[in-house]
């Protein structure tokens, strides 16, 4: 997993609620067996029309937002399908942080597996960022160590994050390696379970 420490990047506004993972990466891009190369499918139906031509009005197609590293979006971002292709596609496109008032649970978990930082701010803070992101200067700083977002105008917003998740994100730690350190505890649990629920052992 890529570590996330501090990011100075352009922020692009997506002022819609309930942006689901089908919109983030439509199904035709899920037939891959790779994690890489999914940027081409990101927000596909928002970025391109039925003939595959770019929709010039869509925020990520506008020249002033090319290379944006942060998205600010409406409530309940990432709802719907559990597809991890959603954070893979965002990361492959260059997005390292999404800011919203709330995230769907599975998407939120998937972000933390990949070094994509989901930041939850208060509704008025998200509204302010959204407005500023629409303006001429839209450079923000997201600092995980101090848990702050600095808006283009210099307003500073604090965000909460689980301390263990923060530590893993800062260091880019592999969850499987960490869990395997508890392999003995897993062995013991399995032995006890085999005695208490023997019918699960010969399914």
Token code pair at residue 102: 């709330």
Residue 33 Cβ vs another protein, minimum distance, rounded to whole Å: 4
2, 5, 40, 189: which one contacts another protein (CB under 8 A)?
189
Among residues 154, 145, 163, 171, the alpha carbon closest in space to that of 2 is found at: 171
Position 190 contacts another protein (CB under 8 A): yes
Among residues 6, 12, 10, the alpha carbon closest in space to that of 148 is found at: 6
Number of residues in contact with another protein under rule CB under 8 A = 59
Position 191 contacts another protein (CB under 8 A): no
7, 22, 131, 159: which one contacts another protein (CB under 8 A)?
22
76, 128, 147, 148: which one contacts another protein (CB under 8 A)?
76
20, 61, 131, 159: which one contacts another protein (CB under 8 A)?
20
Task: Please list, in sequence order, all residues whose beta carbon lies within 8 angstroms of the beta carbon of residue 200, skipping any fewer than 6 positions away.
Answer: 193, 194
Residue 16 Cβ vs another protein, minimum distance, rounded to whole Å: 5
Among residues 134, 98, 116, 113, the alpha carbon closest in space to that of 19 is found at: 98
Build a one-symbol-per-residue string for 113-142: x at contacts with another protein by CB under 8 A, - elsewhere.
xx----------------------------
Position 195 contacts another protein (CB under 8 A): no
Q: What gap in Å lies between CA 131 and CA 203, rounded to an integer?
A: 57
Interface positions with another protein (CB under 8 A)? 15-18, 20, 22-23, 26-28, 30-35, 45, 50, 74-76, 79-84, 87, 102-106, 109-110, 113-114, 162-164, 175-176, 178-180, 182-183, 185-186, 189-190, 193, 196-201, 203
């Amino acid at each position: 997993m890529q570590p996330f420490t501090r990011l100075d990047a352009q922020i692009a506004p997506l002022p819609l609620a309930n942006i689901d993972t089908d919109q983030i990466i439509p199904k035709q891009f899920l037939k891959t067996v790779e994690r890489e190369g999914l940027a081409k499918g990101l927000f596909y139906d928002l970025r391109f029309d039925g003939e595959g031509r770019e929709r010039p009005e869509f925020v990520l197609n506008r020249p002033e937002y090319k290379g944006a590293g942060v998205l600010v979006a409406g409530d309940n971002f990432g709802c719907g399908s559990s597809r991890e292709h959603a954070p893979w596609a965002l990361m492959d496109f260059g997005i390292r942080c999404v800011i919203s008032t709330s995230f769907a649970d599975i998407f939120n978990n998937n972000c933390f597996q990949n070094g994509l930082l989901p930041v939850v701010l208060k509704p008025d803070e998200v509204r302010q960022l959204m407005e500023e992101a629409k303006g001429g200067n839209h450079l923000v700083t997201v600092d995980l160590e101090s848990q702050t977002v600095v808006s283009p105008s210099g307003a500073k917003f604090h965000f909460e994050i689980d301390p263990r998740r923060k530590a893993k994100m800062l260091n880019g730690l592999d969850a499987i390696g960490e869990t395997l350190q508890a392999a003995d505890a897993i062995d013991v649990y399995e032995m006890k379970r085999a005695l208490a629920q023997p019918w699960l052992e010969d399914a």
